[in-house]
Structure 1
Amino acid sequence: MQATDAAYAYRADSVVGRALPDAFFNRDARQLARELIGMVLRRRYGDVWLAARIIETEAYYLVEKGSHASLGYTHKRRALFMDGGVIYMYYARGGDSLNFSAGGPGNAVLIKSAHPWVDDVSGEDALARMQALNPDARGAARAPQRLCAGQTLLCRALDLKVPEWDGQGFDPGRLFVDDVGARPARLLRTTRLGIPPGRDEHLPYRYVDPAYAPFCTRNPLRRGQVEGRDYTWVTRGGRPCRGQASST
């Protein structure tokens, strides 16, 4: 066994047992969207585990017009109608997007953005690999805080592609969600992004980790936003509360 193989074997043994079970995903989509905030996506790429902490999610339901499932069952959308924990991927603005089926046919959660995660399993070498996979428009290394700041950027940084993963389950040896104990107690809740007018664009089904709000797709705490009008604070259980954003 080569040194790189031995290092990978050590890292794999230390994380594979922590993969969330499929039963974790088989719950209400909004609850799942909240619970996924702070979890870490682990993706094996060659001899390293790429990793990104989920900081922004959106919930979707069969019964509302903003979801793909509301357009009806097709083979392409089959993952949305399976039990919780099936991967649904599609193309958005020329890039790949990552979703997980939730409890109930047609319900799912979109992983909207994330932030690179570095630890003893996914080290600086993994971050460098993610930057090589997702350079900026000039071909230079993208700043870590912008590396996964959007659904297509996230998929690019983790090398997740529609043909390979759409309709698949999690594979503890290649791709899974890891609970590293970093879930925030309070979240920001606001409306989803990119929903056309008349397709339930008013529903507050988007959740953001306040400590990472500047690094998500669109910062709910940006200048001009008003609490109670543009966003609300909620607990992980979904109850309204008051909070204060971190200075991260």
Structure 2
Amino acid sequence: MLPDTFFNRPALELAPDLLGKVIRYRHQGIWLSARIIETEAYLLTDKGSHASLGYTEKRQALFADGGTIYMYYARGGDSVNFSAQGPGNAVLIKSAYPYFDQLSPQSTLSILQANNPDRQGLPRPVHKLCSGQTLLCKSLGLKVPNWDNQRFSAEHFYVEDCGLRPLEILQTTRLGISQGRDEDLPYRFVDAEYAAYCTKNPLRRGQVEGRDFFRLTGDLQPV
């Protein structure tokens, strides 16, 4: 379980460092896990953030200490964020990829698929189960009423460092930001190995390196 000090850092430092970390969630007594592959940083000072709209009871988690869980509804589903250092700063977990090990064996795939079937009620392919912020929460069973403004729990919900490190990180602009609300800020980070499985692939046709995205090494140095 990552300590509070891991989260109590600037959001632009925390967001890329969360890539490769594993979300653990105990759903109906069984641990489900997902490797984080896409994040977005949000700052109090940028117009695209919820916190920029001001403090409210609903947004209080954004103004709490680093490592506080902030959840909200987006496009009819649940989304999960972790607060970072400084009031109003946080990281949105944009996409993940199912992760299997001794705690969450391969057999948990059927639970993820049961939680999040496709529109025809059929099992989603493994690479599509968590390829978006609401799909991730639905697959794991994370719900706004249960976890908004809560702290991590070793018994129920936490993030773990399993030694997984992205070899290359793609830095690009965030998604879904309205025009005029700092939509051009390059605050989205993607594990390049999993780029095809994130919300929107930065390497898709038509994207130009150096203009639409930048490549960083795992230690955030330019390639």
TM-score normalized by structure 2?
Answer: 0.98
For 1:240, what is the secondary structure of its paired residue? coil
Deviation at 1:199, TM superposition (A): 0.2
Match of residue 38 from structure 2: 56
Q: 1:152 aligns with which of 116, 134, 149?
A: 134
Match of residue 14 from structure 1: none
- Over the matched positions of the two proteins, sequence identity in percent amounts to 62
Summarize the alignment of residues 124-135 of structure 1 with structure 2, pairs less than 5 Å apart. 124-135=106-117
The number of aligned residues is 223
Match of residue 53 from structure 2: 71
Task: Give the whole-Å Cα distance in 1 for the aligned partners of 2:28 and 2:52.
Answer: 38
Deviation at 1:190, TM superposition (A): 0.2
Q: Which has the higher strand share?
A: 2
Deviation at 1:237, TM superposition (A): 4.1
Segments of structure 2 that go 5 or more residues without pairing to the other structure are none
User: Aligned pair 1:139/2:139, yes or no?
Assistant: no
User: Aligned pair 1:196/2:212, yes or no?
Assistant: no
The superposition leaves residues 31-81 of structure 1 with CA deviations (integer Å, 9 ceiling, x where unpaired) of: 100110000000011232100000000000001101000000000000000
For 1:142, what is the secondary structure of its paired residue? coil
Segments of structure 1 that go 5 or more residues without pairing to the other structure are 1-18, 242-248
Q: Report the RMSD for the aligned CA atoms in angstroms.
A: 0.9
Deviation at 1:127, TM superposition (A): 1.4
Preserved CA contact (<8 Å) 1:31 1:238: no
Deviation at 1:121, TM superposition (A): 1.2
- Aligned AA (1:206): R
TM-score normalized by structure 1?
Answer: 0.88
Summarize the alignment of residues 70-109 of structure 1 with structure 2, pairs less than 5 Å apart. 70-109=52-91
Deviation at 1:93, TM superposition (A): 0.6
For 1:55, what is the secondary structure of its paired residue? strand
Deviation at 1:223, TM superposition (A): 1.1
Deviating more after overlay: 226-235 vs 149-158: 226-235
Deviation at 1:234, TM superposition (A): 1.6
User: Aligned pair 1:176/2:162, yes or no?
Assistant: no
- Aligned AA (1:205): Y
Q: 1:186 aligns with which of 140, 165, 168?
A: 168
Q: Which has the higher helix share?
A: 1
Preserved CA contact (<8 Å) 1:31 1:237: no
Preserved CA contact (<8 Å) 2:168 2:193: no
Task: Give the whole-Å Cα distance in 1 for the aligned partners of 2:108 and 2:222.
Answer: 37
